[in-house]
Structure 1
Amino acid sequence: MSARASRGSAADNATVVTSQKVREGRTDEYQRWQDKTNQAAREFEGFVGAEVYPGAGEENEWVAVFRFSGMEQLTAWLDSNRRQALLDEARELFEGLPTQEVLRGGSPAQPAPDVVTAVISHEVKPGSEQQFLAWQEKTLKAQEKAPGFMGSEMFKPVEGVQEHWVVVFRFDSREHLDDWLDSDVRAKLLNEGSKYFTSYDVRKVGSAFSGWFQFDHDKRGNAPPNWKQAMSVVLALYPTVMVLNLTVGVGLEKLTIREYIGLFLSNVLSVSALTWLLMPIVNKVFAFWLVPSRVAGNRRAQVLGLALVVLCYVVAIAVFGLITHQIW
């Protein structure tokens, strides 16, 4: 469930991440209320978008993310009578009060399938800010070595709005995130960092939709280079088109559907297959080659990934040549 608008600048975005535990049996009521809340937020100046995700933590936990074009616009929404009335209306739907973190800046994320995001807020001891930042940098260096790590962002407190320091990081699966959170390395780091903060809170957010290439929060690079994207798309597109031609295409010919309509239907099917089936698989299998931070300075991974993609090309061509009896 989501609501989006196209206004606003990523550089000045202000985001609020709200976590709420919905009472058992009240999920449908909550979703209707959340849709109503999304619509109300959309009417406020500076609204950029809203997404709602089932929590990847406790059962019946939901996470709502609202983005505005600036902190002033976000606080106008947070402090509005309209929002307060909506919160009062939903009081009986929640177990306890919702928690929220306000983040200044950052880019909207559209994580790939199975990606899990952790939002961790820290109450830093006064005067320990620089030591906390140094500890976070050390933690990030250790985290970058963890399997499935996709990137991290740090958000400083916002005076008068958000007093906590917030770290947002992503892993390519719930399993990899849990492995990191439960690791001995992190346990040692937390023990060391406890000198600089009095408490911290972890919330996990899972999402189900993605674009084709979503490594935009990798700290050391954006999306894969264009040539890698092109090769990856061809790797998924060629078998998709061939399978559709040999199945759906034949069926459409028998139904004598006009060519331009048949082409439209084929495009819908091929794009859907790419977006929700094949490209997620390609991204996951070739992540070692596509994710910029994983392949940086690793010549072996570069060569291996390229060789595997070319090998897949050859295998796919050979297979469809045999199927169509046109192998030379």
Structure 2
Amino acid sequence: MSSRASRGPGADRATVVTSQKVRADRLGDYHLWQARANEAAREFEGFEGAEVYPPRTGDENEWVAVFRFSGIDHLTAWLNSPRRRELLAEGQGLFEAPPTQEVLHGGAPPEQVPEVVTAVISHDVKPGQEQGFLRWQAKALKAQEKSPGFMGSELFKPVEGVQERWVVVFRFDSREHLDDWLASDARKELLAEGRAYFASYDVRKVGSAFSGWFRFEEGAQGAAPPNWKQAMSVVLALYPTVMVLNLTVGAELDELGVPGYLGLFFSNVLSVSILTWLLMPLVNRALAFWLVPRRTRGHRVHLAGAAVVVLGYALFVAVFGLITR
């Protein structure tokens, strides 16, 4: 399976992948700063989503943030906005070096496969060597297709006025298969040949296909769960999270005299963190029989899963009703 950026329904989609090495002693400040950046991006026209991926072992505390917009003009407006420049200025002390970014213009959205690993490689192509680079990239793709676990590749051209680098994104079905390809003799030979066309390159790995909260551990194939199932599942985890935070952290903040708008911000940061790294993985595993598309083959499964979620709602409402009395 392979694909390239093309003119089609999603041809104007635009994504920016930002990599940033966070100082070990500023990790808490970074989480707060990144949450502000995510909220700021949401206010811009064309915003579709943002995800933040923690570092994998050996990645030197490199965090990856992905912002998706419906068009390149919308993404450019965000990248060049005074608000983003303010955020970058505020975050200077959080990072070991200035963050790097790659802009991906066009291309098809990745399939929702749970264990997929993405590599984002940017190239500084030498002037006048663009055609040679394209031929070399086609040769590299043929070699990749023979590598175990290869799932697809996309080539993104430079975006005028935004970035001058060529970016290649390719996906493998596991971290092991990706690392095997990156360390393979075939790739080493290709890199030696490619030096004639590019001056330098940079590799970043993301442990996802830029999916969201709904990742499964048993190789589920196909699309993500329907929106109504996703919404019901998130509410099942969100409601008790918000209630517990209101009864504990919220009460403490009120006693300390923290303004409501700041208290709400801290609560949002905590609730999103709890959902992302604790509760949603648990909910996904518990409701996999209902959420994983290939398992929901009949109406009984749809109804049974929905009934379980509704019973969960009722249980939480009853429990918190008793507590708050």
User: Normalization by structure 2: what TM-score?
Assistant: 0.63
- For 1:210, the aligned partner's letter is R
Q: Deviations over 1:88-146 (max 9, x none)?
A: 11111111100001111123335423321100000111111111111101100110110
Contiguous gaps of at least 5 residues in structure 2: 1-8, 225-282, 296-325
- 1:28 is displaced (CA, Å) by 2.4
Corresponding position of 1:13: 13
- 1:25 is displaced (CA, Å) by 3.1
- For 2:53, the aligned partner's letter is Y
Q: Deviations over 1:242-300 (max 9, x none)?
A: xxxxxxxxxxxxxxxxxxxxxxxxxx889723378x889x9xxxxxxxxxxxxxxxxxx
Q: Counterparts of 1:269 and 1:135 in 2: how far apart (Å)?
A: 42
Provide the aligned C-alpha RMSD in A.
2.5
Corresponding position of 2:29: 29
Name the count of aligned residue pairs. Answer: 221
**Contact 2:215–2:284 under 8 Å retained in 1:** no
- 1:214 is displaced (CA, Å) by 4.7
Contiguous gaps of at least 5 residues in structure 1: 1-8, 217-267, 283-328
**Contact 2:14–2:72 under 8 Å retained in 1:** yes
Greater mean deviation of Cα atoms: 65-74 or 162-171: 65-74
Corresponding position of 1:50: 50
Greater mean deviation of Cα atoms: 23-32 or 125-134: 23-32
- Residues 184 and 270 of structure 1, relative CA distance in 2, 3 Å threshold: closer
Corresponding position of 1:213: 221
Corresponding position of 2:268: none
* 1:272 aligned onto 2:287: yes
- Residues 84 and 275 of structure 1, relative CA distance in 2, 3 Å threshold: farther
* 1:68 aligned onto 2:69: yes
Could you say what secondary structure the match of 1:11 adopts? Answer: coil
- 1:198 is displaced (CA, Å) by 0.5
Q: Which has the larger radius of gyration?
A: 1
Q: Counterparts of 1:132 and 1:91 in 2: how far apart (Å)?
A: 35
**Contact 1:118–1:168 under 8 Å retained in 2:** yes
**Contact 1:124–1:198 under 8 Å retained in 2:** yes
Matches within 5 A, 1:305-316: none
- 1:213 is displaced (CA, Å) by 2.4
- For 1:274, the aligned partner's letter is F
- For 1:19, the aligned partner's letter is S
Could you say what secondary structure the match of 2:154 adopts? Answer: strand
**Contact 1:54–1:61 under 8 Å retained in 2:** yes
Corresponding position of 1:40: 40
**Contact 2:111–2:223 under 8 Å retained in 1:** no
Task: Give the share of equivalent positions with the same residue, in percent.
Answer: 67
- 1:162 is displaced (CA, Å) by 1.2
- Residues 48 and 114 of structure 1, relative CA distance in 2, 3 Å threshold: same
